[in-house]
Structures are given as C-alpha cells and as structure tokens.
C-alpha cells in the first residue's frame, strides 16, 4: 500500500538533499597565478579553513535535521494542507541554510565574525520554531499521528522541541560577544538534542 | 501496487525541489573589505532586503504550485504522452522561476523595478496557462481522471484555473504602473486561488 | 512488490531533474548601472534571446530524453552491472548538456556560432550512441526485457535508435556550414524520432 | 510492503544525483571577445581538456560509488541512528567531491598539479574510510544484514573494502611525486575494486 505522505517525503528528501549538496558550491577554488607551484596551492587550500569548517558544520546540521524529519514522518499517518504548509515552512529555512553558511565561511576569522555567526545562529532560531509548528500541525489533538504512538512519547519530544528556540536564541546573543562561543553553544545543543529527542521515537526499525 | 504515475511524480518532485532550492543561490554574500567590522556586515545584510523578499515570495509561489500539483496528481489514474508533455510544460516554467526572481532581486528598489516586476508577473501568466493545459490533458473527456471524482468538483477547479491567467495578466499590466501594486495583486491571487482551488480536492487524506 | 529497477529509476530521475533545472543558472541577470530605468532593462532582457533560445531548446531535449527513458524502463524487468553502467553512460551525457547549452547561449549570434552549434550537436551524437548502448544492454538476447514485449516492437525501436547517431552526425557537419541549419536539423529529428519511437511502446498506460 | 530503508535510499540517491550533476558547473564557458570566430572557439574548447578530464574522472567515481551503494543497500534490512549517521558520513564526502574535482580541473597542467591531485586522492582516502564505517555499521555482528546473505560473502566484501584506504593513501603519496601516476593508481583501483567487490553481491537481480 502506498502511504499518503509519500510525495511529501519525496519532495522534502529532494530539498534536504539539494540544500546539503549546494553547500560545496560556496567553497571557491583558490586563484593563483600560473607561476606558482604545489606549495603555494597547499597553503591556499589550508587558508580555506573557514569555508571547510562552515561546510562541515552546516552539513552536520542539515543531516541531523533530515534524520529528525525522517524519524518524525514515521509517526504521521496522512497529510492535509496545514501539514503541507508547516512542512513547507521547515523546508524554507532548510533551503536558506547555504546563505548564512556562506556568510560565516566568508567572515569567520575577520572583524565581522560576530555578526556573521549571530546571523547563522539566528537562522537556527527560525528553523527550530518551524519544527515546532510542524510538530504542532501533526500532534495537536493527535490530528495526524498514528494511534500506536503513546502520548508519553509525544510529550517527551514536545518538551525537547521547546528547548531548541531558547538555546538558539541564547547562542545568537552569545555570538555578539564571541563568535566561537556562539558556534560552540549551537553545536552542544545538537548533541544534547539528538540524545533527548531520538530515543523516544524508538531506535531500530526493520 | 505501483501507480502508473510514480515516475512522473518523482521527476516533477525533483524539478520542484531543485527550483525551490536554487533560489538561495541568487542571494550573494555581501563583499566588504577586510578592515570592516560586525556593524558594517549587519548593515550590508539588511541592504539585501530585495533579494530576501524575492526569495521568500518565489519560495512561497513554488511551494503553492507544488502543493497544487501534489493534490492534482491524486486525481490522475495514468499517464500518456499528452500528459507527460503537458506536465513538462508546467515544469519548464517552474525551472524558469529562479531567473525572473533574480531579476526582481537585482532591480527592486531601482528605477527599473517596474520592468523587473512585469517580467516576473508575466512568467506567472505563462505558468497559469501551462497549468490549464495540464488540467485539460487530464480532465478533457475525463481521459485520465479517477472515476470517483465527481464532475461537479472538476468544474469548480476548472473555473478556478481560468481566473489565473486573467488576474496575472492584469497584475503584469499594473506592474508597468507600480511595481509594488503588481506584486500585491500577484500575492492576493495566491491567497484567493488557494481558497478557491484547494477545497474541491477534499481536504484530509490518510 | 518493489521493482528491482526502482533505485536506478530514482537516481536517473534525479539526474534528469537536476540537469534540466540547472539550465536556468546559465541565464545571467543583465547588469545595468543604477541610473537606468525600465526601458533599458526591457531592452537588456530582449537581448538575452540567445540564452532563452538555448534554454528552451535544451529543456525540450532533456524532457524528450526523460520521457523516452521513462517509457523505455517500463520494458526492463531487472538490472545488473552492465545495465547500470550503460545507464550511467546515458546520464553522463545528460549531465553534460548544460555546458554545450551555455556555449550556444554565449556564442549564438556571434562569429563563433558555427563552432558552438557543432559542439552542441556533437553532444547529441554521443547521447544517441549512449542510448543505443543502453538499449543493447537490455534488449540483446532479451536479457532484461519483460517477456510480454513482442520482438517486433523491439525491432521497430532498434531501427529508430539507429537513425539517431546518423542524423546528429549530419547536423554536426551541417552546423559547420550554417549554425541555424544545424539546429533545425537537430530539432526536426526530435519530432521525427518522437513519432517513430513512441508508438511502439504503446500509448496509454493506467 | 514498504522497506524501512526507503527514505534513506531516496535521500542518498538525491545527494549522489546532485553531486554528479553539479560537476558540470565547474566547466566554465570560455570567454572570447566579440571579434573572434569559430576557429578561436574550437581552440578554446580544446584547451578545456583538464576540466573535461576531471569531469569524466569524477563522474565515473561517483557513478561507481553509487552503484556500490545501490548494491550494498540490498543487504540492509532496516536502519537505525548508527546506520543513518554512517551513511551521512559517506554522503558528506560524496558532496565534497565537486570541490577537489574543480581544484584538479584548475591546476592540472600547471606547476601546482601535484598538490591538486594529492588533495583529490586524499578525498578518496576519506571516502573509502567512510564506506568502511558504513559497512561496519551494517555488518558488525550482522546487526542489519538480511539473514540470507552468507557470512563468506560479507567477508569477501570486508576484505575488498580494506584494500581501498591503503591504495588511496599510496596514490596520494605517489601524487606528490607525479600527478599522473597518482591519478592512474586511483583509476586502477576502481577497476580492481569493481572486479573484487561486485561479484560477491551476486549479479543479476530481477
């Protein structure tokens, strides 16, 4: 039997896959003049570390978001307009991620690093709010959740989703004071959130 | 059972997903010289508002078109060449959207804003005509519609689809007089169209 | 039951969808200085006709190739390495199409138009040879064709596929003499080929 | 019945398809001034050989990786977080491939060719290690393998996967001495690896 959410998943998978792959386009090949040799190119590649760091960071973020989306959709038994628009809101911010990533890649290690990272963290405030809207569009009054999901599980995930916007907002404020502290706080949240959030879904599924 | 329209849907989903994700590539990272700080970057990011506006506007348009396509395909019981080419016509204009979007992003707020918005609205005239061709390729003589879709429902959607090209044509003309009025008319249509068009498909489907 | 060719189709659909959507990235927003108005932008957009023409032409080509692939895969009952590599060869040239398209967009209407169009047509020689390899990987000795496909049908398509490389080669040579004649010959083939090639597959399928 | 790995496959297919299609974006249309003719364009296209070579090389690599992934997934009966993250690690390096490809395209045939190729080969060291992690996430203790896969088969593939990082490391070192020798060693591995690795999966599957 074909599930009613098949195309919503296929479209979302497409958007996640493209957003995660477009990140690499932001890393530009260093331009040297013809006379230079392998040593100069090696130095130039090493100097790309802010781009590589931003690429890795955002890749991991989008991967975690996709895994989360993947697990979340297993609870959803059907879709309606409210759900499709809430899902569209999540995708809006997912497709937006390559832009703040490019801003961080360009300005990390310069005098404008703090504004760049604050902009980056601010994007995640929006994403975590969008995920909350998506969760509500499915879980409020158990509109679209499978019946076998226990209420207790929904509540645990609901609590985990509520932490997101708060910590991201704090990390945005912290970034104005120190770019690296803001990024660290962001990253710490993902580790925490992964722990908190994944187990309720149940682990292995064959 | 595998549906005969599976691959047409997968291909369409891919094109929609890529077109909606490519929009972000049009927003360029602002270039400042090394001496500048966080304040200058913040100002430069705020000055990108026409790009951000065009991104949001087009994202929402493509999302609405995808949702519409998604709902529409639920009526379709099979596909033939006529349908595949009509669908290709819709996709042609969907992949085209990032270009007029970039033109609006570049020229909104300049002296050429009216030509930019008229070009943008003109694209939607073509899209709404393509959707009409797609609808006819399926609904004419009920060639490819599922039998359980009532005639009354088809007629309601047919009427809604006919309004599209008219209002978009008007908004294109209005844009030559005022860019913002043209955009507003475009946006108002989507809200109206969503209302008119979605309910006939029926709402929730599990 | 899941078909054995599902993932090969999904991967191919992805590549076709991305290649057809990347075409738009080759159309650059015209750069005017700030003082110009709507008239100058309109003129600049009209001057993009070679880009728009190349976009339309290549979009239609990739669409026809995808529809052909879509129909062709309905005959295929399974996949092995030979098939996957032959399919990869087709996809290689599909992903290549945006590059000769950009060359035509840049040099149509200049003194180098003939070399640009010859390069473009030459790409189609390769594509039509790749389709022949794909066809053979499936049809030779009926390795992977469904049993219900009549031998007569295979033969008709085999003949149609053999015309491709010949006409494309001629159009490549003609392009060295006249760019537009080369393009016209290319286009005429698609119309002819569509006619010849599609009907054998049978038309409607629910 | 829907397989539990469906969405992981769809997401992976998307990433592979996009990474393989983005390669073409690295080949830039040669810029000539308006006065030039077809001869100059032909010469300029021929001079793009390093870009074309890098495009072909990387296309083939990603295709082999995808075919491998495709075959590998047929053994997997379900997915959990460990698997999804290991798969994400593979995809990380797949999306990264266009960047070292662009570096090789830019610097092959210049004095910096050796550093460019060493960087390229170094990427494949990472990819082959990531594939090993993916293999272990599925095969260790037969966590997620279908029961009908014989232990002997797993062992043969395990051995083949262990050769990868060694030969790629050697080719990276060799590249510092000769760019072409490094590339040749890379390519020879794929041929070898394809031979070693594919047959255990079994060949035809309907």
Q: How is C57-90 classified by DSSP, letter by letter? A: HHHHHHHHHHHHHHHHHTTB--B-HHHHHHHHHH
| Inter-chain residue contact A205 with D112, CB threshold 8 Å | no
| Inter-chain residue contact B59 with A92, CB threshold 8 Å | yes
CA distance, residue A181 to nearest chain B CA (Å):
16
Arithmetic mean of pLDDT, D174-194: 84
Is there a contact between B127 and B98 (Cβ–Cβ < 8 Å)? no
Arithmetic mean of pLDDT, D62-82: 84
Arithmetic mean of pLDDT, C89-109: 92
Average pLDDT over chain A reads 84
CB-nearest to C66 from B11, B78, B112 is B11
Secondary structure (3-state) at D76: strand
**Is pLDDT larger for residue D33 or for residue D90?**
D90
Residues of chain C with Cβ-Cβ distance to B18 below 8 Å are 17-18, 21-22
Per-residue pLDDT band at A73 (split at 50, 70, 90): confident
Q: Is A5 exposed, middle or buried (0-12, 13-18, 19+ CB in 10 A)?
A: buried
Instruction: Please state, for a pLDDT cut of 70, what percent of chain B lies above it.
Output: 89
D44: Cα within 13 Å, side-chain hemisphere: 19
**Is pLDDT larger for residue A204 or for residue B110?**
B110
| Inter-chain residue contact B67 with A81, CB threshold 8 Å | yes
Q: Is the pLDDT of residue C36 over 80?
A: no
* DSSP secondary structure code for residue A33 in this structure: -
Q: Is the pLDDT of residue D1 over 50?
A: no
Which residue(s) pair with B145 in the sheet? B76
| Inter-chain residue contact D119 with A3, CB threshold 8 Å | no
| Inter-chain residue contact D102 with A17, CB threshold 8 Å | no
Q: Is the pLDDT of residue C131 over 70?
A: yes
Per-residue pLDDT band at C34 (split at 50, 70, 90): low
Arithmetic mean of pLDDT, C177-188: 89
CA distance, residue D206 to nearest chain C CA (Å):
4
**Is pLDDT larger for residue C197 or for residue A177?**
A177
Q: Which of A41-55, C190-204, D156-170 has the lowest mean pLDDT?
A: C190-204
Arithmetic mean of pLDDT, D82-89: 89
B122-156 tens-digit pLDDT: 999 999 999 999 988 888 888 888 888 888 888 88
Q: Which chains, if any, share at least 3 CB pairs under 8 A with chain B?
A: A, C
Arithmetic mean of pLDDT, D137-145: 84
Average pLDDT over chain C reads 84
Per-residue pLDDT band at C100 (split at 50, 70, 90): very high
Judge whether D52 is closer than 8 Å to chain C, CB to CB: no
Q: Which residue of B has its CA nearest to A14?
A: B17
CB-nearest to D81 from A13, A36, A203 is A203
Tallying the residues shown for chain C, one arrives at: 206
CA distance, residue D4 to nearest chain C CA (Å):
12
Residues of chain D with Cβ-Cβ distance to A66 below 8 Å are 11
Per-residue pLDDT band at A1 (split at 50, 70, 90): very low
**Is pLDDT larger for residue A74 or for residue C17?**
C17
Judge whether D178 is closer than 8 Å to chain A, CB to CB: no
Q: Is the pLDDT of residue D194 over 70?
A: no
pLDDT given for residue A192 in this prediction: 62
Judge whether D9 is closer than 8 Å to chain C, CB to CB: yes
| Inter-chain residue contact C22 with D20, CB threshold 8 Å | no
pLDDT given for residue C125 in this prediction: 93
pLDDT given for residue D169 in this prediction: 93
Q: Is the pLDDT of residue B1 over 60?
A: no
Residues of chain A with Cβ-Cβ distance to B37 below 8 Å are 111-112, 115
Interface-testing mutation among D17, D110, D143, with chain A (most A C-beta atoms within 10 A): D110
pLDDT given for residue C201 in this prediction: 46
Arithmetic mean of pLDDT, A117-140: 91
Instruction: Please state, for a pLDDT cut of 70, what percent of chain D lies above it.
Output: 90
Q: With CA atoms as reference, report the closest residue to A96 among A31, A18, A33.
A: A18
Arithmetic mean of pLDDT, B43-65: 89
**Is pLDDT larger for residue C199 or for residue C24?**
C24
| Inter-chain residue contact A16 with D18, CB threshold 8 Å | no
CA distance, residue D63 to nearest chain C CA (Å):
7
Instruction: Please state, for a pLDDT cut of 70, what percent of chain A lies above it.
Output: 90
**DSSP sequence for B114-178:** HHHHHHHHHHHHHHHHHHHHHHHHHHGGGSSB-TTS-HHHHHHHHHHHHHHHHHHHHHHHHHHH-
């Amino acid at each position: 039997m074909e599930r009613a959410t098949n195309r919503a998943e296929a479209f979302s998978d497409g958007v996640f896959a493209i957003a995660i792959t477009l990140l690499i386009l932001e890393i530009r090949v260093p331009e040297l003049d013809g006379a230079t040799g392998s040593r100069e190119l090696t130095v130039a590649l090493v100097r790309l570390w802010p781009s590589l760091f931003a690429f890795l960071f955002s890749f991991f973020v989008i991967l975690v978001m996709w895994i989360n989306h993947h697990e979340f959709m297993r609870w959803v038994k059907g879709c309606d307009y409210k759900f499709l628009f809430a899902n569209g809101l999540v995708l809006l911010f997912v497709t937006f991620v390559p832009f703040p990533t490019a801003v961080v890649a360009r300005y990390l290690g310069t005098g404008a690093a703090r504004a760049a990272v604050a902009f980056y963290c601010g994007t995640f405030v929006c994403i975590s709010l969008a995920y909350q809207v998506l969760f509500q569009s499915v879980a409020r009054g158990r509109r679209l959740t499978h019946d076998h999901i226990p209420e207790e599980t929904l509540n645990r995930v609901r609590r985990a989703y509520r932490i997101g916007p708060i910590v991201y907002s704090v990390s945005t404020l912290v970034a104005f004071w120190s770019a690296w502290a803001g990024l660290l706080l962001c990253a710490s949240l993902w580790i925490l959130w992964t722990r908190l959030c994944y187990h309720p879904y149940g682990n292995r599924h064959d």
